[in-house]
Structure 1
Amino acid sequence: MPTDDEFADAFTDGFARALRGAAELAPEPVRHTLAAQAEQRGRRRRRRRRAVVASALAVLVLAGAGGFTALGGRPLGPTGPAAQPDPDRPEMSTRDFVTLITGLLPKGTVQELNTDGPEKLSGHTTGATLLFDDGAGASIVEFSVERTNLRPDAGAVCTDGFQTPQDACDRTVRPDGSVLVIDKLRNQNAKDGREWRVTWAAPDGRRVSFTEYNGQPATANRPEPPVADSTRLTELVTDPAWDRVFAALAPVKDAPRPGDSPPPAPAAGGPSNAELLAKLVPLLPAGAEVEKQDPGHAALTVTYQGRTSMLQVGADPASERGRDELATMDRNPPTPLEVRQKGADGTLVVTNRFGNGKSATNPVLHWTAAVHYPDGSQLWLSEWNGENQYTARPGDPALDVDQLKAIATAPAWRS
């Protein structure tokens, strides 16, 4: 079951940009394969790091700082595990890399936000965060160039609009088998904020990503990000100039090859969303009305005694990871409104209420109940007031945590 932090991630998709203690809460859900799941979790970690860069920049701008160096976040140059030097691999300096990406941007001025990386590219991935000003408002932009072991269907995916505010997402399979995604997201924590992400993923695992804001992540200063034309965005991430960068990056193990057959679909890891909803509905309290169901997210809208909320259910099959999580849960202190109850057979039932974060309680926005079984399987319910996972509102939910607990512990789930 997701932790409290992950619940907060899923429901708020926040882009908080405070200099200290910043935490961007923006998950990206399953869209295609298990590889995509892992990839999207990595993106979330990278966005958290990027939030620190953006926050530091905002503070410097407010303070009237004249330069931008060593602000943290993604370093310029290689990231990830260091690769063994290859004398046959072409070299590329970080200065050449910055010159290359500056040349790909439209006419304007560029300031580097990270200039403390290694002198030469060497790992599997590299990137840079810049402040780009085309005369219509300085904006943060970020480039990432990677060699991955992901096929295009996992390397370039749309964000789920159920969990993240989204204006549009266009996903195109190109004639060469590569995939292009242009994902236009909204920032609900910054008035009129926009974050546009463009990703190109090749059949051999190469990937170029470009992210741009309409200003700084916490403060919009223009209607749209600086590179607004879809054709121009496509050209930006598919330009042949990236070949030089890829040549300088180390290859990765198990990289796909063009023409490879798709991997077999992963075996089902538990009941389908439709099956979960079919079991959930009869367990609702007498008098509860289900207004609509969303099988894609195992969620439904329920009204009970005049109150309406969204209710989501999830289940994980028995696993070593689940057993480890249960065994180590006692090491982590409960959050302020969390209640844990362990049965004689070792089953742990956890209920919780929280706001926009692990320890936030004012206002309470999320109500959860989870059951951790000794074999590592898990069943969890989550409830909030809103039409999707980023519009949680305060107020009494349709079902209280005791009712959620009664549903989660019903024997029907084990049958």
Structure 2
Amino acid sequence: MSYEDELARALRGAADLAPRPEPAVLAAGAAARGRVLRRRRRAVRAGVCAAVVASALTTVALLPGSEPAPPAERPMVSAAFMELTVRALLPPGSVVEVLGSTGGRPDPHANGPMVELMLDDGHGPVRFSVSTERMALPVDADTPGAECPATRQAEQCVRTEGADGTIVLVQRAVERAEQGGRKTLVVQTTNREGRRVRLDLAGQDPESSLTVDRLTEIATSPAWDPVFVGLAVPDRPKEDNLGMPADRIASTVRALLPAGVDGKAPEGRFANGEQWLALTGNGREARLTVSVHLRSPIRPEAFGRGEEGLTRTADGASVLTRELRDDSDAKAPVTIRTVDVLHPDGTRVILSQSGPGVWPDLPPLEGREVLSLQQLVALAASPAWRG
């Protein structure tokens, strides 16, 4: 049997496993049906793979004339659907073992279905997972995974945006040698409707089996459309935990630095909420990582509960200081010193100072600090962050 025939048969099986909606679900509105029909036309042009997937979408198509069904009645895909669909999209024979999978859940706001596999196409074993999620709208710099974090090096995170507005974020990392030295690769796609598909790979060389372009095709495949019929757009307001824009974080830090200390931030567009600066002063160099979120959901009475060293400033800010060492040895040198502040208005500011370098390969901090602990506390607790 040819690969095309095998693929068609596998996708027919996935279509059979797609959820059959209740009658109430079959009446959801002309606009929704129009989107399905447009996807179906694109699927026919795409060939046998998408054509068979279109049959799955027909199962969950919504007919005009009634109000949308209550969330509890949304059709849900099964764990078997996830397994069969991902098998159909991956190279034939590459799946060695299914490690786990989940289907849809009655709560439409829960995390979406996922599946995790072990792959091996002759280039070595690769742990591979697919996870799905519906993101709150609008998709912007406050949407996780829509922008590269400033704290990642440029070669570790690459962002592209397609003509249809779909954002593709590719992130790479390498474990420390003593942890196995595996490479990790994350490809996540987010479209304008908030549909997120994330692929995680880990192995000695995951890209030898699946290129980023092929992974992007898998993540954006219409085969996943039935999954999102059962996932509602989150109705929680994004304003609950907005991140401060990265450029504003950098300018605020520079305005608060003591005399004789300079801070330089990387250039580019980044996700809201995080920034880092290269500090120089007193003949020393250090790295300052900053996280700022407005109206943190953490309640003041819960902040720092059970931790030692919690203090409060005269104007009501709660302050925690922490030290991170290279390993579990209490006598190992400190590599990162952190100040965590919850302001009275709910703004949360976290500052971390370390020596030059990137975690986990950091030198001891002692003798390299540009800012003292007292200066870090004063910077993080400044009212300039509020509002």
For normalisation by structure 2, the TM-score amounts to 0.61
d(CA) in 1 for partners of 2:296, 2:144: 27
Aligned 8 A contact 2:158 2:169 in 1: yes
Superposed CA offset, 1:84-115 (max 9, x none): 245xx4x7543243122101101334211016
In structure 2, the partner of 1:232 is 214
Aligned 8 A contact 1:352 1:401 in 2: no
Aligned 8 A contact 2:148 2:159 in 1: no
Q: Does 1:277 align with 2:253?
A: yes
In structure 2, the partner of 1:113 is 99
d(CA) in 1 for partners of 2:378, 2:227: 56
In structure 2, the partner of 1:140 is 127
Q: Does 1:163 align with 2:152?
A: yes
In structure 2, the partner of 1:259 is none
What code does the residue aligned with 1:402 have? Q
What code does the residue aligned with 2:213 have? T
Deviation at 1:393, TM superposition (A): 2.4
What code does the residue aligned with 1:193 have? R
* More contact order relative to length (CA 8 Å, sep ≥ 6): 1
Instruction: Tell me the secondary structure at the aligned position of residue 368 of structure 1.
Output: strand
Aligned 8 A contact 1:143 1:211 in 2: yes
Residues 235, 411 of structure 1: alpha-carbon distance in 2 compared, 3 angstrom cutoff: closer
Instruction: Tell me the secondary structure at the aligned position of residue 183 of structure 2.
Output: strand
In structure 1, the partner of 2:72 is 84
Q: Structure 2: which 5+ runs fail to align?
A: 1-69
In structure 2, the partner of 1:47 is none
d(CA) in 1 for partners of 2:378, 2:165: 48
Q: 1:252 aligns with which of 232, 239, 251?
A: 232
In structure 2, the partner of 1:302 is 279
User: Which residues of 2 match residues 243-392 of structure 1 at below 5 A?
Assistant: 243-246=225-228, 249-253=229-233, 272-281=248-257, 283-284=258-259, 288-290=260-262, 292-294=264-266, 298-312=275-289, 319=295, 321=297, 324-325=299-300, 327-329=301-303, 331-334=305-308, 339-342=309-312, 346-355=316-325, 362-377=332-347, 381-388=351-358, 391-392=361-362
Deviation at 1:399, TM superposition (A): 3.1
Superposed CA offset, 1:362-395 (max 9, x none): 3311123455554545555431112456553213
What code does the residue aligned with 2:90 have? L
d(CA) in 1 for partners of 2:343, 2:227: 49
Deviation at 1:300, TM superposition (A): 3.1
Aligned 8 A contact 2:128 2:200 in 1: yes
Instruction: Tell me the secondary structure at the aligned position of residue 311 of structure 1.
Output: strand
Aligned 8 A contact 1:163 1:389 in 2: no
Q: Structure 1: which 5+ runs fail to align?
A: 1-81, 256-262
Aligned 8 A contact 2:79 2:113 in 1: no
Aligned 8 A contact 1:164 1:390 in 2: no
In structure 2, the partner of 1:56 is none
d(CA) in 2 for partners of 1:235, 1:201: 13
Identity %: 24
In structure 2, the partner of 1:212 is 201
In structure 2, the partner of 1:399 is 371
Deviation at 1:401, TM superposition (A): 1.7
Residues 161, 267 of structure 1: alpha-carbon distance in 2 compared, 3 angstrom cutoff: closer
Instruction: Tell me the secondary structure at the aligned position of residue 307 of structure 2.
Output: coil
Aligned 8 A contact 2:261 2:282 in 1: no
d(CA) in 2 for partners of 1:223, 1:269: 35
Aligned residues: 299
d(CA) in 1 for partners of 2:116, 2:361: 30
Deviation at 1:276, TM superposition (A): 1.1
d(CA) in 2 for partners of 1:199, 1:382: 28
Residues 137, 151 of structure 1: alpha-carbon distance in 2 compared, 3 angstrom cutoff: farther
Aligned 8 A contact 2:244 2:292 in 1: no
d(CA) in 2 for partners of 1:346, 1:152: 34
In structure 1, the partner of 2:186 is 197
Deviation at 1:308, TM superposition (A): 1.8
d(CA) in 2 for partners of 1:342, 1:276: 22
In structure 1, the partner of 2:36 is none
d(CA) in 1 for partners of 2:384, 2:159: 41
What code does the residue aligned with 2:132 have? V
What code does the residue aligned with 1:112 have? V
d(CA) in 1 for partners of 2:365, 2:296: 38
Residues 102, 347 of structure 1: alpha-carbon distance in 2 compared, 3 angstrom cutoff: closer
Aligned CA RMSD, in angstroms, stands at 4.3
User: Which residues of 2 match residues 119-130 of structure 1 at below 5 A?
Assistant: 124=108, 125-130=112-117
Instruction: Tell me the secondary structure at the aligned position of residue 331 of structure 1.
Output: coil
Residues 306, 122 of structure 1: alpha-carbon distance in 2 compared, 3 angstrom cutoff: same
Instruction: Tell me the secondary structure at the aligned position of residue 301 of structure 1.
Output: strand
For normalisation by structure 1, the TM-score amounts to 0.57
